[in-house]
Amino acid sequence: MDRSNAFFWNGMDISFLDEIELSGGAFYEDGLQRDLLYMMANNGVNTIRLRIWNDPPGGFCNLERTLAMAKRIKALGLHFLLDFHYSDVWADPAHQTKPKAWESLSFNGLIHVVYDYTRMVLTELQAQGTLPDMVQIGNEITPGMLWDDGRVGGEEYNSEEQWAQFAALVKSGIEAAKAVDADINVMIHIDRGGDNETCRMFYDRFARLGVEFDTIGLSFYPWWHGTLDDLRSNLHDLALRYDKDIVVVETAYPWTIEPAEGRSFIVTSEEQLHEGYPATVQGQTDYMRDFIRIVQETPNGRGVGFHYWEPCWIPSKDEWSVGHANNWSNLTLFDFEGRKLKTLEVLKEVVRL
């Protein structure tokens, strides 16, 4: 199939924006304060990703706040990706904790509540005219989700029975999404964007278990997942092997690693950087330009876009609803004061190959 003229998604995950704005954070372009979403759209962003937690302790990224943010996204005509974590907190390869309200449920009870919750959230969004265009059923679910019922990571849990349970939970979420709108695009998202062996193991297993979905989602952070060459090789193989659209739904790169008083960072050393891309605004810009080109060069037009993870998580307060200080503020597309970095303008260069 010739997909060379397919659309390309220039995406941003701005799930913290709500909290940033309510804590007094602001964003600037050419010396003027601007609405972040409007600024993003003017700089080439065409899709926004939000995570949703069931009942988060901090009161952000829940259904109420998602409904409010969805109105702003759709008012600008932007594509909308909703990321179901199925947790009250972070869900990722190290944490897939059940929502507190679901802790005592049987496995069959979990199957039903995943369906009911997914359908309820999407129905609420649909009712206000802001149904997501795409949904993730789980976030970075390489080792499973809703532990321990749907856990498959590690020798103890890597069994046929556990994989069957995991797949059943995912299928329940997919069924609910398609019941709300059969055309909604369903993504299955794992990490390890540069690890072809793990990606093939995961998606082969889902194929055998009959998990039907539309889009492959990957995370790719160079300090965790390898080189851009690793990403290129993996995208090439996955595109030919599965013939599905692929979105690198999380990436980021530092614009500085210089110590900043009162701030801690995840990326702090030269050893964590990708060769050829210094921790400067120019290095970040070059990384993004080359990263986008690699996604676009995926065979058969199957590399359909990316999302930059939390480009606006500036240090607007000390303690966050996630329970720790901001350790991401040198990986944003804005400086510590909320001024736009030129890296964001790379998106205006993007054209479909």
Tokens of 88: 């009250």
Burial per residue of 161-188, b for 16 or more beta-carbon CB atoms within 10 angstroms, e otherwise: ebbebbbbbbbbbbbbbbebeeebbbbb
CB 43 within 8 A of CB 343: no
Tokens of 180: 């709300």
Phi-psi region of 283 (alpha: psi -120 to 50; beta: other; left: phi over 0): alpha
Out of 64, 140, 175, 349, which one is annotated catalytic? 140
CB 258 within 8 A of CB 232: no
Helix (H, G, I), strand (E, B) or coil at 7: coil
Per the annotation, the verdict on 310 as an active-site residue is no
**Residue that the structure tokens 């959230």 belong to:** 121
Out of 29, 160, 197, 250, which one is annotated catalytic? 250
CA atoms within 13 A on the CB side of 328: 21
Tokens of 44: 């080439």
Per the annotation, the verdict on 160 as an active-site residue is no
Q: Would you please indicate which residues are annotated as catalytic (active-site) residues?
A: 140, 250
